[in-house]
Every structure is written in structure tokens, then in C-alpha cells.
């Protein structure tokens, strides 16, 4: 059976609204999975939808609680395979553990690669994700991976801000290539902040490389977890004479207190995507751009699935 003849979209529970939007855009009824936990925290899943000889697409960002959502994804993939799925694609807009792709000292695991092996052993044939924290991880995963660029949906939104002659800023050396792409697309100058990371989730800006005096600055990053990298970068830019500071990041991971800290940091505007379900109480200061167009296009290309209405599909 050609995969274009039978496509099933399964919502893993981590971001039901995004799964619903993707299914609607594809014209496919959404197959909601039953994801529960026993009293001891053990995860139990069930897909109450036909999977036999179908291409099953599981949409599940591995956002906090990362381990719970990752285990649910693996179990859903195994459930689909056990039910006779012809192929299983995991759409993981935010891929947890991507920050741990390197062994920095003896005794460290290769966590990102291990998670990839776990998902492959569960029966996932390919992975679709957005803005991996470590781009090199794409080639280290055991299954084919399609890494989408969030800038495709973020840049049009940023242009509507009409920031005059901005300087695009990489908050660290690791984000330089991303900042270069944004700067090229916006016709903007580029700056980078040299920083130290003495321990996980702690970053200390040291100096700004580039001219930002009396300039509006746009910090671009792949994620905001504690918010300390963004806030520290903004403080360093203001100390060098920058005017308004804007921020754009792909994944709003937001550990406890992060959203409040970013909101209070004095950014002119902040934009992110809905790759992760964002709590409703975050506030209007955060502008959110949907990633549905990115994901639906990638799924169509993988499945040779035509554009059609839900009414036609049903």
C-alpha cells in the first residue's frame, strides 16, 4: 500500500492543540492516544485507531516533563508497530536531550544518541524535528532525521516589527551560524556574545564582539529554558550602549520562573513558536508563531500526501 493511501496522525498528549492543527491542515482525522500513568508513575498508552498497513505519524514534542513525554513517544511507537503499522514517523518539534550530544568528561553518557537508539528500537523509522540544539546530532541519529528551520516562520514575523537597521546577536558561539542566517536574511549586521558556562543551566556573558552602540539588537537562539542566557545577553548589550533589545527563540522550554524573568527583563518584543505547548498564563508580552505550516509540509513530502480538506478525507 502506498503511504498516501492511508495516513494516521496520533496525538501523543504533549501538545494536543498542535497535533489537531496539523491533522486539520492535512485533512486527516486526528487519532488521539490514551496516555495515562499508574499511581507509581509508570506510563501506559493505547491507540484506539486502526494502524494496520498505515503510515502512522506520532506528534509529540518531548517538552517538560521530558522523560514522561519521551517514554510516551517510545511506547506509542511500539503500540503502532504492534498494531501492524507499515511505517512510523515521529514528529518531535522539540527534541529533548539534544543538548547532551557530547561526552565532556570520562563517565558522561552520549545521552542524545542513546535517546535516538531508544526511539529507533521502539520502531520509529524517521524523525521530523525543528532546530536541533546541536545540528551535528542529525547525522548521529540511527534513523533518518529531517531538521526544519524555524526561521522560515519567525523571519516574516520579525520583519513586521520594522526594526530599523538591527544588529542580529548570537548569545554564544554555538548559535553563530543561526545568527548569520538571520542577519543575511534581514540584511543586518552581526554580533556575538562570548560567554562561559561554568555549570549546566548557568551562563556568564563576558564580552560583546561587534558594534552595538546606539543600535537596536535582535538576539536569536534555539531555546529559552531558564532565560538566563537571553537576559544576560541583553544586559551585556545594554552595557555596550545598545538601544532596544529584541529576542527570538524557537522553543519556549521555560523552567519554573523563566517566563516571569524574561517578561521583566525589558525586551522591546519577544517572539517564539508553538513547538511546545505554552501555558496560557504566560502573558501577552510573548508573541507566538505557529509551526503548523512547517510540519504539514514535511509530512506531505514524506508521505506523498496531497493537500485536501477534512471533508474530502472523511
CA–CA separation, 271 vs 162, rounded Å?
14
Question: Please, how many CA atoms are within 13 Å of residue 243, restricted to the half-sphere of its CB?
Answer: 8
**221: left (phi > 0), else alpha (psi -120 to 50), else beta?**
beta
The answer to whether the beta carbons of residues 57 and 87 sit under 8 Å apart is no
Quick one: cell of 281? 498564563
For the annotated catalytic residues, the residue numbers are: 195
The answer to whether 292 and 152 are in contact (CB under 8 A) is: no
Rg (CA), the chain: 20
- CA 114 from chain centre, in angstroms, equals 19
Contacts of 204 (CB under 8 A, 6+ apart): 195, 196, 197, 198, 232
Please report which helix (H) or strand (E) contains residue 96, including its range: none
**Strands of the sheet with 126-130, listed across from one edge:** 43-47, 30-37, 7-11, 55-59, 87-92, 126-130, 145-148
Cα–Cα distance measured from residue 152 to residue 158, given in angstroms and rounded to the nearest whole number: 11
Amino acid at each position: 500500500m502506498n503511504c498516501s493511501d492511508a495516513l494516521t496522525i496520533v496525538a501523543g498528549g504533549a501538545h494536543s492543540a498542535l497535533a489537531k492543527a496539523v491533522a486539520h491542515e492535512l485533512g486527516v482525522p486526528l487519532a488521539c492516544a490514551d496516555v495515562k500513568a499508574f499511581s507509581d508513575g509508570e506510563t501506559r498508552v493505547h491507540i484506539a485507531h486502526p494502524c494496520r498497513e498505515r503510515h502512522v505519524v506520532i506528534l509529540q514534542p518531548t517538552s517538560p516533563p521530558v522523560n514522561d513525554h519521551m517514554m510516551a513517544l517510545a511506547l506509542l511507537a511500539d503500540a503502532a508497530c504492534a498494531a501492524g503499522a507499515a511505517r512510523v514517523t515521529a514528529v518531535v518539534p522539540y527534541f529533548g536531550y539534544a543538548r547532551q550530544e557530547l561526552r565532556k568528561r570520562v563517565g558522561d553518557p552520549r545521552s542524545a544518541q542513546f535517546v535516538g537508539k531508544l526511539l529507533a528500537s521502539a520502531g520509529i523509522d524517521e524523525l521530523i524535528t525543528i532546530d536541533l540544539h546541536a545540528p551535528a546530532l542529525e547525522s548521529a541519529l540511527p534513523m533518518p532525521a529531517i531538521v526544519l528551520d524555524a526561521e522560515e516562520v519567525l523571519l516574516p514575523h520579525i520583519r513586521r516589527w520594522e526594526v530599523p537597521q538591527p544588529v542580529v546577536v548570537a548569545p554564544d558561539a554555538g548559535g553563530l551560524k543561526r545568527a548569520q542566517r538571520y542577519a543575511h536574511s534581514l540584511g543586518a549586521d552581526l554580533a556575538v556574545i562570548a560567554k562561559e558556562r561554568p555549570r549546566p543551566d548557568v551562563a556568564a556573558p563576558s564580552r560583546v564582539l561587534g558594534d552595538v552602540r546606539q543600535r537596536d539588537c535582535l538576539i536569536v537562539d534555539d531555546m529559552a529554558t531558564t532565560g538566563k542566557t537571553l537576559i544576560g545577553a541583553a544586559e551585556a548589550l545594554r552595557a555596550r550602549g545598545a538601544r532596544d533589545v529584541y529576542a527570538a527563540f524557537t522553543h519556549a522550554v521555560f523552567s519554573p520562573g523563566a517566563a516571569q524573568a524574561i517578561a521583566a527583563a525589558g525586551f522591546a518584543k519577544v517572539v517564539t513558536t508553538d513547538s511546545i505547548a505554552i501555558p496560557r498564563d504566560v502573558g501577552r508580552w510573548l508573541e507566538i508563531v505557529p509551526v503548523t505550516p512547517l510540519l504539514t509540509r514535511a509530512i506531505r513530502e514524506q508521505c506523498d500526501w496531497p493537500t485536501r480538506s477534512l471533508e474530502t478525507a472523511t
